[in-house]
Amino acid sequence: MRFIGFFFDLLEPLFKFAQKWLGIERLGWFFVGPNLLVFGVFTFLPIVINVIYAVTGGVQLIPFDRPYTGAENFQILFECRNYFDIQSCRKDVFWRAIFNTAKFSVIQVALMVFFSLVTALVLNRKIIGRGFWRGVFFYPVLLSPVVVALVWKWLLQSQGVFNALLVGAGQTPIEWLTNSQWAFFWTIFVSIWAHMGFYTLILLAGLQAIPKDLYEAALMDKASPLRTLWRITLPLLMPNLIVVLVLAMIRAVQVFDEVFVLTGGGPGSATTFIVQFIYQTGFAEQIHLYGLAAAASLTLALGLIALTLVQLKLTRANDVGQKTR
Amino acid sequence: MTWVKKPAEAMSFIRFLTRTQNTRALGWTDYVSYSYLLVGLFTMFAPVLWLLASSFKTESAIGQFPPTLLPYSQKMVRIKSYDNPLPLYVITNDVGETKTMAQVSRIGIIANMVDPDRPEETMQVNINQRTPVTEITIAIENYSDIFKKFTFGKYLWNSVFITVIATLLTLLINSMAAFALSKYKFTGQKFVFFLIIATLMIPPTIILVPVFLVINSVGLLNSLWGVILPAVATPTGVFLLRQYMLTIPDELLEAARMDHASEWRIYWRIILPLSAPALAVLAIFSVMWRWNDFLLPLIVLSKSEFFTLQLALNSFQGELHTQWHYLLAMTVITLLPITLVFAFLQRFITTGIASAGIK
Amino acid sequence: MKHTAFHVSALPLALFVTMGLSTTVSNAHAGEVRVMCYQDGIECDVTAEIARKFESLNPATKIVIDTVPYKTIVEQLPVQLAAGQGPDIARVTDLGGLSKYYLDISSGLKDRKYWDSNFGATASWLAPTPGDKGVYGFMSQLTMTGPYVNKTLFEQAKVALPGSKATWDEWAAAANKVAKATQTKAAMAWDRSGHRFAGPAISNGAAIFDAQGELTIDAGYKNTVNKFVAWHKDGTMLKEVWAGSGGSTYADSIGEFINGNVVMVLSGSWQINRLQKDVGTKFDWSAVPNPCGASACSGIPGGAAWVALKTSKSPKETAAFLDFMATEANYSEFASRTSNIPAHAGLAKKGINYASAQPGAKAALGTFSAGVASLSPTAYKFQGYKYNRAIMLPTVARVTQALVGEISSDEALNKINADMHDAVKQAQK
């Protein structure tokens, strides 16, 4: 600590001098500078390179060695003989992936928010060992996605524990991961299992911020618990719910690690999502189609931005609603 | 210091709730709550406990179906006049009687078995009439082999170095950026904030190859810094800290400026200490992210002396065969530090997010 | 903004200084040879011991073996090499695809004739351009695809093993009978791999290449796909192996075989060690010759090769170490301890003493080695073709879609064709 103090004391005179010269407001740029620099070099620059990839063809890695092809990659992605039949598209797996991702996101986010809310409500009550229970639900968030997927893949394999229990109970084993519907279900379940704790805590924080006099008043009016929930708790929790909704949606659309290790995108393409398509096109094949992968990723990014802007508009509408109440 | 009041409020709120819960009309909510918690406990913990139990099984025991909870392997017995230990089986004959015998050899569907007490007589038994005698064998070698096989200490050091340094840097530059975005007004501020949040939209997998190119041209390939630097400007961190810093009253800063304190002093002496809970949260997340980082180290580090634990974990997957027993044991080992960090700092997480999440 | 520049330029400077302090030297210097190796068994461990021997004979040179996951070799190494970075030697499987990065070491070899006579047959697989006479490395092993059968199940069902010239249909029928009699889950399973699939396809008459030497999906290939899908529909094939994944991810069938869920699997010679260890005395297994199709009874040769790379900073030492590894004594030790079939002509003739192998394993190695003679020339060409993954990967992905009923077999074949041509066209840009 003393060392840090020493280091800091050294800087102070420099700072005071700079401040006099620049004025306080310009110092804002100094503070945000390092973050911007790292971001610029390691995130923004790669995005620019990605755009270069998207408008070039060939299989060369170095962007400048690639021939310019204009919008050809986008053309390949969007080429379909019949726009109502995915199978007739040139890159049918791309469209399947988009459709799967949309389906996954809607269902997963709805269930995730629901279960996070229920868990937060339960955890908000007076229960013994609340810290312990909080830890129980938050714990999976700390595991790496690969570990999460490996563990569940282990349990769900045809020779795994789940089927052992079924066989023990006299039932026939179920193809958990090789049946398209079940595989899809498990991708949703596993991703909720792994991330629910995070959102639960955000909602729990929101619940703890609700002033108690409102509940006192409700009790005076002899309100039932469900009515209290609907009229008081949920409306006041809305800002946190919106945060959870936006974050969960962004994460859901970007799902990859868990699912890829769990099902590999199978069976067939039942659980192939958009990021996996991009990864496979650009990385896993022998012939790396960097251009196509970049075009798909730009499409994804634009879609996500649009989606988030829509959600944020909802937020602002809600904030306005709050203020006028 | 508005957040200080919250625990006190929460406590009285809880006490308040319990009072209402004593009326019979609300009894069912208690049952539902506790059963929900127990189901949650099972769902959350059972898979990881299974992982732990399985990591002590031998490779062949892992592949068995139906899988057993405890690690079993077949009992062996030494019988004089036979050089090698022989596996033990329980034989059931047609009448239903059982006997324990050791197997000398097996050809096709007929096994040659001997009674351990009378090793001179061999009996021919159909293989369908025998069941193996098993005992609990804890395959510690899954773990000890790993330490022998790898320069485990080196990988551990690399992981720890990356995690600690990256976390310190993350805390520093994210808090500086959050300070600027919450307490200053300068042109382009909104745009900068939007840019930082927009990076949330880009899954890291997608820009993997361009990131590699950039790291390569900066000369940070095969260097631990090549894994540390790209990861320190986290948008989530800036967002989280900014939310928190917005609740710090501006009057404090004004007062300090009146006393001719430099902005740096304000940052170090006022903002940072007041943001401690949010910083703790970010620290925990950063530790978690860097410890579990896989893709970025995979493309940046190809020289084994720079490998992290997660990379070493994956080297058990060859082209054609995955050595599950080592993989599981390794997974458990990499899980331990993060578990300890979590158990120790669990309190910070919950109070931290609590305060940062409130708008 | 210029003020930001002043303040933040200090940061990278400080970082680069500390970089030197906290990390060990990451630049290769002359006299050091870095070897990037992956292993299925103990290949890299054995190589490390050979390296120690080399170092004791050549004290000025240091050999560092980096054991990496196979994923790194397949996905990261090509990217690194394209960016001008990489090790001196690597153990690779995409022989044609990476050939443009190989380093010609013929000037550093002690006895060129030894190399030509022993490794000449497979040298073309490493050649960047057809007819190239340079020496770029050598095959660390020769692998052969081929089936394994559970002999014990056949005995229990009292079904005789089909002969060495039996067809795939005959094997399927026999295995089905066995599976029914012994209540085994399924009769057959093939590794989820286009490389494995190509064996029966070529045996069935698939030519893979058309008159111009381009990839083509012909009647033989189509028939194999249709038959494969039909076998899944009627329960002959175990669904889990191919349907358990998506895209073109690899999955092997040996796990199911070891657990007694299938009677017969199509895999390869690299599994011998694993079978020996994991099956133990549970049941009797053996390798059988590749079943016949309409025109051949072929498997696909393969294997990983040690290659010298252009990114090497110590080409002389690289050549010397590869030369050392390729000597008969060292190659023989490697093959024997890792239970691999040698790609060394002299040793293949002499035979390897697999000292650590049990009788079952030794017999299997014998079957596979004998199978080399019945390899179809198409199989060799296929293995050596630069863009063979352009047909292998779509086959896996699309056939799986057909198996699970997402698309029809015909549609799958059309798509394989389309994907294949797309990939090759981009590669030639």
Distance, in angstroms, between B191 CA and closest chain C CA?
15
Please judge whether B263 and A19 are an interchain contact, meaning their C-beta atoms are less than 8 angstroms apart. Answer: yes
Q: With beta carbons under 8 A apart, name residues in chain B contacting A152.
A: 47
Q: Which subunits count as partners of chain C given 3+ CB pairs below 8 Å?
A: A, B
| Residue A104 exposure: Cα atoms within 13 Å on the Cβ side | 33
**Per-residue pLDDT for A325 more than 50?**
no
Q: Which subunits count as partners of chain B given 3+ CB pairs below 8 Å?
A: A, C
Please judge whether A205 and B198 are an interchain contact, meaning their C-beta atoms are less than 8 angstroms apart. Answer: no
DSSP of A194-261: HHHHHHHHHHHHHHHTS-HHHHHHHHHTT--HHHHIIIIIHHHHHHHHHHHHHHHHHHHHT--HHHHH
- What confidence score (pLDDT) does residue B15 get? 46
Q: State how far the Cα of B6 lies from the Cα of A211, in Å rounded to an integer.
A: 10
Query: Residues 47 to 106 of C: which have CB under 8 A from any B CB?
Result: 64-74, 76-77, 79-80, 83-85, 87, 93
Q: State how far the Cα of C54 lies from the Cα of C159, in Å rounded to an integer.
A: 53
The residue of C4, C195, C250 whose CB has the most chain A CBs within 10 angstroms, and thus the best one to mutate to test that interface, is C4
Q: Which CATH superfamily is domain C29-142+303-355 in?
A: Periplasmic binding protein-like II (3.40.190.10)
Q: Which subunits count as partners of chain A given 3+ CB pairs below 8 Å?
A: B, C
Looking at mean pLDDT, say which of A8-22, A250-264, B253-267 comes out highest.
A250-264
Q: List, for residues C370-407, the tens digit of each pLDDT value.
A: 888 888 889 988 988 888 888 998 999 999 999 988 89
**Largest CA-CA distance found in chain B, in angstroms, rounded:** 102
**Per-residue pLDDT for C341 more than 50?**
yes
**C29-142+303-355 and C145-301+360-427, same CATH topology:** yes
Please judge whether B221 and C85 are an interchain contact, meaning their C-beta atoms are less than 8 angstroms apart. Answer: yes
Please judge whether C40 and B59 are an interchain contact, meaning their C-beta atoms are less than 8 angstroms apart. Answer: no
Average pLDDT over residues C164-191: 92
The CA-based angle C40-C46-C51, given to 5 degrees, is: 130
Q: List, for residues B139-156, the tens digit of each pLDDT value.
A: 777 777 777 766 777 888
Question: Residue type at C269?
Answer: S
- What confidence score (pLDDT) does residue A322 get? 46
User: Binning pLDDT at 50, 70 and 90, where does residue B133 land?
Assistant: confident
Nearest CA in chain C to B299: C76
| Residue B279 exposure: Cα atoms within 13 Å on the Cβ side | 19
Average pLDDT over residues A157-161: 76
Look at the block and give the residue holding tokens 């060495």: C164
- What confidence score (pLDDT) does residue B91 get? 83
Query: Residues 112 to 131 of A: which have CB under 8 A from any B CB?
Result: 118-119, 122, 125-127, 131
Please judge whether B10 and A131 are an interchain contact, meaning their C-beta atoms are less than 8 angstroms apart. Answer: no
Q: Please name each of the domains of chain B with its CATH number.
A: 2-54 (no CATH), 72-136 (no CATH), 142-357 (1.10.3720.10)
| CATH 1.10.3720.10 describes domain A94-324 | yes
Residues written for chain B: 359
The residue of C80, C232, C249, C262 whose CB has the most chain A CBs within 10 angstroms, and thus the best one to mutate to test that interface, is C249
The CA-based angle A283-A287-A288, given to 5 degrees, is: 35
The residue of B206, B212, B359 whose CB has the most chain A CBs within 10 angstroms, and thus the best one to mutate to test that interface, is B206
Q: With beta carbons under 8 A apart, name residues in chain A contacting B29.
A: 125, 225
**Per-residue pLDDT for A144 more than 70?**
yes
Lowest mean pLDDT among A6-15, A165-174, C96-105: A6-15
- What confidence score (pLDDT) does residue A112 get? 95
The residue of A19, A81, A178, A275 whose CB has the most chain C CBs within 10 angstroms, and thus the best one to mutate to test that interface, is A178
Q: With beta carbons under 8 A apart, name residues in chain A contacting C427.
A: 59, 287
**Per-residue pLDDT for B90 more than 80?**
yes
**Per-residue pLDDT for C10 more than 70?**
no
**Largest CA-CA distance found in chain A, in angstroms, rounded:** 82
- What are the residue ranges spanned by the domains of chain A? 94-324
The residue of C2, C3, C250, C386 whose CB has the most chain A CBs within 10 angstroms, and thus the best one to mutate to test that interface, is C3
Nearest by CB: A28 against B34, B63, B186 = B186
**Per-residue pLDDT for A278 more than 90?**
no
Name the more confident of C120 and A1. C120
- What confidence score (pLDDT) does residue B350 get? 55
The answer to whether C252 contacts chain A (CB < 8 Å) is no
Q: List, for residues B222-278, the tens digit of each pLDDT value.
A: 899 999 999 998 888 888 888 788 878 888 888 888 887 777 888 888 888 888 777
Q: With beta carbons under 8 A apart, name residues in chain A contacting C259.
A: 159
Q: State how far the Cα of C134 lies from the Cα of C118, in Å rounded to an integer.
A: 15
Q: With beta carbons under 8 A apart, name residues in chain A contacting B179.
A: 31
Please judge whether C74 and A87 are an interchain contact, meaning their C-beta atoms are less than 8 angstroms apart. Answer: no
Average pLDDT over residues C6-10: 36
Query: Quick count: other Cβ atoms within 10 Å of Cβ C47?
Result: 25
Q: List, for residues C78-91, the tens digit of each pLDDT value.
A: 888 988 888 999 99
CB proximity list for C406: less than 8 A, separation 6 or greater: A180, A268, A269, A270
The answer to whether B110 contacts chain C (CB < 8 Å) is no
Query: Residues 345 to 374 of C: which have CB under 8 A from any A CB?
Result: none
H or E element at residue B53: helix B27-54
Per-chain mean pLDDT for chain C: 86
Structure tokens at A75: 């053309």
**Per-residue pLDDT for B9 more than 60?**
no
Please judge whether B108 and C68 are an interchain contact, meaning their C-beta atoms are less than 8 angstroms apart. Answer: no
Structure tokens at B307: 């490998």
SS3 (DSSP) at B94: coil
Q: State how far the Cα of C66 lies from the Cα of B2, in Å rounded to an integer.
A: 54
Distance, in angstroms, between A25 CA and closest chain B CA?
6
Q: List, for residues C29-69, the tens digit of each pLDDT value.
A: 567 899 999 887 788 989 999 999 999 999 999 999 988 87
Is the pTM value of this prediction over 0.90? no
- What is the topology classification, in CATH, of domain C145-301+360-427? D-Maltodextrin-Binding Protein; domain 2 (3.40.190)
H or E element at residue B119: strand B118-126
Q: With beta carbons under 8 A apart, name residues in chain C contacting B216.
A: 83-85
The answer to whether A293 contacts chain B (CB < 8 Å) is yes
Contact C355, C389 (CB under 8 A): no
Question: Residue type at B325?
Answer: H
**Per-residue pLDDT for C6 more than 50?**
no
**Per-residue pLDDT for B349 more than 60?**
no
